[in-house]
Chains A and B, each alone.
Chain A
């Protein structure tokens, strides 16, 4: 894996150039945000639910070893085989071995971000295993050889015509189809025989209940249910942070998850797996992959509370206008920008800057992760670790000097105002001025605040301000 920092800004630039895609992306995600708001307003207890969810998650994370052991004991009692994986490679090896032991060549799988983290599909392909995604959006991304661009709606950046083109290649449908219903039907018809002949099924897990040894999977297509109930072998890949202590806690999370994600009260399917089906075999692989280390990061451990609803993405003005793929990571958007650097600090060093710090992500987060504060804290960490891009570092350095000297600062402001109103455009809008790249510079003002203040308030304010001057 290359460590080269992701050039988020350049990738976003590419996305912005395509107006129809950009406009649809922005509107679709904002629509999801508004539907979420409507759900929030229906429930007077919404803030209480968020508080409860946050406290349950923080509690669980502080006792994660005990709850994992409790889950393992109960799951084993129910006949589930439990495996532990330190990282992606270990996870892939375990899954490969289970499949090999069953001589399983065809795996159908439900969407799981953890397997994306582990880069499992190419590994299994090399072992001769055919992996077929059953979630429609994830399947579109698989056929197009792209990462999911959103954790809930993986192909949200694509228009119908894009999907028609992809399906035409693989399903031999008409590339000119413009009715999403026909395309979805093509997927259904193509998927059914694969599902019926699969040797093994794989799902993720949205929640894991320590008390009962259960894991819970939420989908709208029911594709996790098909993946788990048709083949007799079911493997579930789950991040170790997904635990909740009691079955009774699930009420809080199910009530928040889909409302925060899509603005629907619940996903069409909420499935509780507590043991293998009759004649079947069930495996759970608990994956660490950096999570235990993240738990030790004082400023960032609460990012492990995330229930992967995607609400922070839907509301983020930067995400909506740059597209998920521009983040160059498995997790995009605000949540991605705070957890990706924990996977690779250098590679994802640019992502915490992909934010206006407006706090909207924090406001919509159902488990109250202080996302925008963590974005800010990451910037500090990255500066300390010298991961700041050269130009940004130099600009900050100069800005620091300038702001430390009021007289020089005021002179610079004046000079800027003069140049904004007098200089020709080619001088102001070029590669030296990133601010002017996709937007107009601010309008020049006739009088700076400082000039106005000197003229109108300075003498009046002085006596009153005197006692306050001591630091």
Chain B
């Protein structure tokens, strides 16, 4: 008895257009190749993200409290911020649900879209990036890549991470009468702290 797999593949082989007529085009690198901080910030703001600009003499912990004065539970997975909840306490995916602000470092950002990348390498647990109410993301300016083409070609993470999310601002929806709403299901805000 033939399996579903065999039957599907057989049907595809029998029905497909002539492969020789459809060669694979070479990888494209199109568009604007500006990888500047300014371009990244402009794009980030279009998608509802924001920059957490440091004030003279202020620590990251203080800056986070300035941005989120009501935050009780702040959980940091970076040495630059202490937070209020030790990250070791976040063991199961559900543990992240009580956090007001999560703090992580992104290995890179994409200037075209204002996107930051996170994978299991930066997260204590994958749900950490989504179940908290707000997220603060540390990003190094020299880890910006120009656009989606350069990102996919240059960044090894896309081929190595089991879970890799490009976040471009907070969770959003416009599903009720077209009104844009930030903070639909995941984080309500995303702030980038440049280091």
Query: Are B170 and A56 touching (Cβ within 8 A)?
Result: no
A221 in complex: contacting residue of B7, B115, B126, B186, CB < 8 Å: B186
B-contact bits for A49-66, CB 8 A (1 contact / 0 none): 100100110110111110
Query: Are B148 and A251 in contact, with the CB atoms below 8 A?
Result: yes
Q: Is the CB of A48 within 8 A of B131?
A: no
Residue on B nearest A32 in the bound complex, by CB = B178
Contact A274 B161 (CB under 8 A): yes
CB neighbours (8 Å) of A228 from chain B are: 126, 163
Cα of A264 to Cα of B183 in the assembled complex, Å: 17
CB-CB under 8 A from B158, the residues of chain A are 212, 214, 247, 250, 272
Query: What 0/1 readout, one digit per residue, does chain A (166-180) give for beta carbons within 8 Å of chain B?
Result: 000000000000001
What bracket does the count of chain A residues touching chain B fall in?
35 or more
Contact with B94, one of A49, A196, A221 (Cβ below 8 angstroms): A196
Q: Report chain A residues within 8 Å CB of B168.
A: 265-270
B25 touches A56 (CB 8 A): yes
Contact of A61 (CB < 8 Å), options: B17, B161, B184: B17
**Count of chain A to chain B residue pairs whose CB atoms are closer than 8 Å in the complex:** 268
Q: Are B47 and A271 in contact (CB under 8 A)?
A: no
A382: chain B residues within 8 A (beta carbon): none
Which among A1-9, A154-162, A442-450 touches the partner chain? A154-162
Residue A13, interface by CB 8 Å: no
Which of B130, B159, B171, B184 interacts with A212 by CB under 8 Å?
A: B159
Residue of A nearest to B15 (CB): A296
Chain A hits for B7, CB < 8 A = 86
A229 near B127: Cβ-Cβ < 8 Å: yes
Establish whether residues A184 and B164, one from each chain, have CB atoms under 8 Å apart when the complex forms: no
* A contact residues around B97 at 8 Å (CB): 192, 196
Chain A residue at minimum C-beta to C-beta distance from B23: A59
B94 touches A230 (CB 8 A): yes
Residue of B nearest to A220 (CB): B172
Provided the pairs A78-B162, A277-B162 are in contact, do residues A247 and B152 lie with their beta carbons within 8 angstroms?
yes
Known: A247-B152, A264-B47. A69 touches B9 (CB 8 A): yes
User: Considering the chains assembled together, what is the distance between the CA atoms of A77 and B138 in angstroms?
Assistant: 32
B12 contacts the other chain (CB 8 A) = yes
Provide the residues of chain B in CB contact with A137, threshold 8 Å. 173, 175
Q: Quick check: which of B26-34, B52-60, B68-76, B80-88 contacts chain A, the rest being far away?
A: B26-34
Q: Indicate if A328 sits at the interface (CB-CB under 8 A).
A: no
Hey, what's the 0/1 contact readout for A184-212 against B, CB within 8 Å counting as 1? 10011001100010000000000000011
Hey, what's the 0/1 contact readout for B108-125 against A, CB within 8 Å counting as 1?
Answer: 000011010000100001
**With the chains together, A296 CA to B43 CA distance in Å?**
43
**Closest residue of B by beta carbon distance from A160:** B177
Closest residue of chain B to A43, judged by CB? B31
Known A-B contacts A229-B126, A292-B11; the reply to A188 vs B161 at CB < 8 A is no
Contact A254 B175 (CB under 8 A): no
Let me know if A277 and B115 touch, CB within 8 A: no
A135 to B184 Cα, complex, angstroms: 9
Pick the residue among B9, B21, B163, B187 that contacts A277 (CB under 8 A). Answer: B163
Interface residues of B in 159-195 (CB under 8 A from A): 159, 161-179, 181, 183-187
Q: In the complex, which of the residues A45, A90, A181, A225 has the most CB atoms of chain B within 10 Å of its own CB atom? A: A225
Interface residues of A (CB under 8 A from B): 24, 28, 31, 43-45, 48-49, 52, 55-56, 58-59, 61-65, 68-69, 78, 84-86, 90, 134-137, 140, 153-156, 158-160, 163, 180-181, 183-184, 187-188, 191-192, 196, 211-212, 214, 220-223, 225-226, 228-232, 240, 245-252, 254-255, 262, 264-278, 286, 288, 292-293, 295-296, 301
Known: A90-B4, A158-B177. 6 other contacts (CB 8 A): A65-B13, A180-B179, A230-B93, A245-B24, A266-B148, A272-B164
